[in-house]
């Protein structure tokens, strides 16, 4: 069996939503201390809906495929829905990731959450801090 699913390969070779949004409403950047990979997500938000989303990922193929898939999954969706997106859902949508690559999908979940938090912070919108666990103490990336 191939190490990577066809869906992973497709999103790696032809990533969707790559780029930058000028004047983005929310920007989230996260990194994985162990592998050194970095993911940045840009959100354009209107009336609580993600009108547009773009990403820049400096990382492995699985991180690029995860970013691509995750952006597709939240585009056009309300923020509340984007916040419920888990790395597990991203990995499942990719038809699975090898066990040692699951942490790459975690970057996507964290980067989206961080971008939404940035939007809330910039606009003085109140939120439950529990929605945004402190990355430093998050065991996901261990
Ligand atoms: Fe670092 Fe994939 S190896 S995100």
* Tens digits of residue pLDDT in 32-50: 989 999 999 999 999 999 9
Q: Which residue has the higher pLDDT, 130 or 53?
A: 53
Position 131 scores a pLDDT of: 86
Among 68, 73, 72, 74, which Cα is nearest to 55's?
Answer: 68
Give the atom of ligand 1 at the shortest distance from the alpha carbon of 36: 1
Q: Is residue 58 within 8 Å of 38, Cβ to Cβ?
A: yes
Position 88 scores a pLDDT of: 96
User: Which of 38, 104, 105 has most ligand 1 atoms within 8 Å of CB, for mutation?
Assistant: 104
Position 129 scores a pLDDT of: 85
- 76: phi > 0 → left, psi -120 to 50 → alpha, else beta; which? left
Q: Is residue 45 within 8 Å of 26, Cβ to Cβ?
A: yes
| For ligand 1, atom 4: residue with the closest CA | 104
Least confident of 84-98, 99-113, 119-133: 119-133
- Ligand 1 centre from 91 Cα, in Å? 13
Among 9, 40, 8, which Cα is nearest to 108's?
Answer: 40
State the first-to-last Cα distance of the chain, in angstroms, to the nearest integer: 27
CA distance 133 to 130: 6
């Amino acid at each position: 069996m191939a190490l990577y699913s066809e869906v992973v390969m497709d999103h790696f070779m032809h990533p969707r939503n790559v780029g930058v949004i000028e004047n983005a409403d929310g920007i989230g950047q996260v990194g994985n201390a162990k592998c050194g990979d970095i993911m940045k997500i840009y959100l354009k938000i209107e009336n609580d809906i993600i009108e547009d989303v773009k990403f820049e990922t400096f990382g492995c193929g699985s991180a690029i495929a995860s970013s691509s898939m995750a952006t597709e999954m939240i585009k056009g969706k309300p923020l509340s829905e984007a916040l419920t997106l888990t790395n597990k859902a991203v990995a499942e949508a990719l038809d699975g990731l090898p066990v040692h690559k699951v942490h790459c999908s975690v970057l996507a979940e964290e980067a989206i959450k961080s971008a939404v938090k940035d939007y809330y912070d910039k606009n003085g919108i109140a939120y439950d801090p529990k929605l945004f666990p402190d990355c430093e103490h998050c065991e996901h990336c261990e």
